[in-house]
């Protein structure tokens, strides 16, 4: 059977909640991606993780400076090391990009970045992506990190947006492999909302940039 056009499916949104164990959600993403077929709608999973550092496939331990009691987990996305913790909105994108006229990975990354830029612009914050260092930045400080895994045209992992969190753990690493890279968050830019309060609007921005005509919030997940 050929690839079904993406316009036939809604973009499904699932809220996994707070303090989710990273490895459990990671394995669920892998299983979903392995088991899906051409008729499986794309999904976005929204979550806040318990404190964890994750190290991408090409990541170097030298960028993990002093993790202390926070675990370091090598994983299968691209990129270097980043931090996840309470107060950060993590957005996992489980997409079949073959259904979007074989959307290229670089174009996909740029569209995801632009969705975050759109969200921040709504609150009067000027942000931009970076072609050489994927993510979203406000005056040079990183507010959102991005790392994907693409296998057979299907993606998982995704985006993390710093909302209202303790930024200290970022000082224990070279964020995304860049020594001295400063990070920021929505709270420090005057956006006084919690992660899941921003989630709906961010999903709308993502659906627009990725050209999904319909969002479906899965029942029982909020």
Average pLDDT, the chain: 93
Does 22 count as an annotated binding residue?
A: no
**Beta carbons of 147 and 82 less than 8 angstroms apart:** yes
Does 117 count as an annotated binding residue?
A: no
pLDDT of residue 8: 72
Residue 50, in any domain of the structure: yes
pLDDT of residue 131: 83
Residue 148's CATH number: 3.30.930.10
Residue 222, in any domain of the structure: no
Does 81 count as an annotated binding residue?
A: yes
Residue 26, in any domain of the structure: yes
Residue 10, in any domain of the structure: yes
Boundaries of domain holding 18: 6-217
Q: Does residue 158 surpass a pLDDT of 70?
A: yes
3 DSSP assignment: P
The length of the chain in residues reads 222
Residue 1, in any domain of the structure: no
Closest C-alpha to 189, from 127, 118, 115: 127
Question: What pTM value is reported for the model?
Answer: 0.94
Q: 101-104: long-range contacts (C-beta < 8 A, 24 or more apart)?
A: 102/153
Task: Choose, from 176, 186, 203, 205, the residue flagged as catalytic.
Answer: 176
Query: CB-hemisphere CA count at 13 Å for 85?
Result: 16
**Beta carbons of 85 and 169 less than 8 angstroms apart:** yes
Please tell me the total count of domains within the chain.
Answer: 1
Residue 176 annotated to the active site: yes
pLDDT band at 222 (very low <50, low <70, confident <90, very high): very low
Tell me the per-residue pLDDT of 166-203, one tens digit each, with 9 for 90 and over.
Answer: 999 999 999 999 999 999 999 999 999 999 999 999 99
Does 147 count as an annotated binding residue?
A: yes
User: Which string of DSSP letters, residue by residue, matches 197-216?
Assistant: HHHHHHHHHHHHHTT-S-EE
């Amino acid at each position: 059977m050929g690839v079904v056009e993406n316009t036939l499916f809604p973009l499904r949104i699932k809220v996994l909640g707070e303090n989710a164990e990273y490895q459990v959600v990671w394995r669920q993403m892998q299983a979903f991606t392995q088991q899906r077929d051409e008729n499986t709608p794309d999904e976005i999973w929204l979550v806040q993780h318990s404190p964890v550092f994750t190290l991408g496939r090409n990541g170097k331990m030298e960028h993990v400076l002093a993790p202390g009691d926070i675990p370091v987990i090598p994983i299968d996305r691209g990129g270097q090391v980043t931090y996840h913790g309470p107060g950060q909105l993590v957005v996992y994108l489980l997409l079949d990009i073959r259904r979007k006229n074989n959307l290229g990975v670089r174009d996909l990354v740029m569209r995801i970045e632009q969705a975050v830029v759109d969200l921040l612009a709504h609150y009067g914050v000027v942000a931009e992506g970076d072609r050489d260092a994927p993510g979203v930045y406000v005056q040079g400080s990183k507010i959102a990190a991005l790392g994907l895994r693409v296998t057979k045209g299907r993606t998982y992992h995704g985006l993390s947006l710093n909302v209202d969190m303790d930024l200290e753990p970022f000082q224990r690493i070279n964020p995304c492999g860049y020594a001295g890279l400063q990070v920021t968050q929505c709270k420090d830019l005057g956006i006084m909302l919690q992660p899941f309060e921003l989630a709906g609007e961010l999903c709308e921005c993502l659906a627009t940039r990725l050209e999904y005509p319909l969002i479906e919030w899965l029942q029982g997940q909020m």
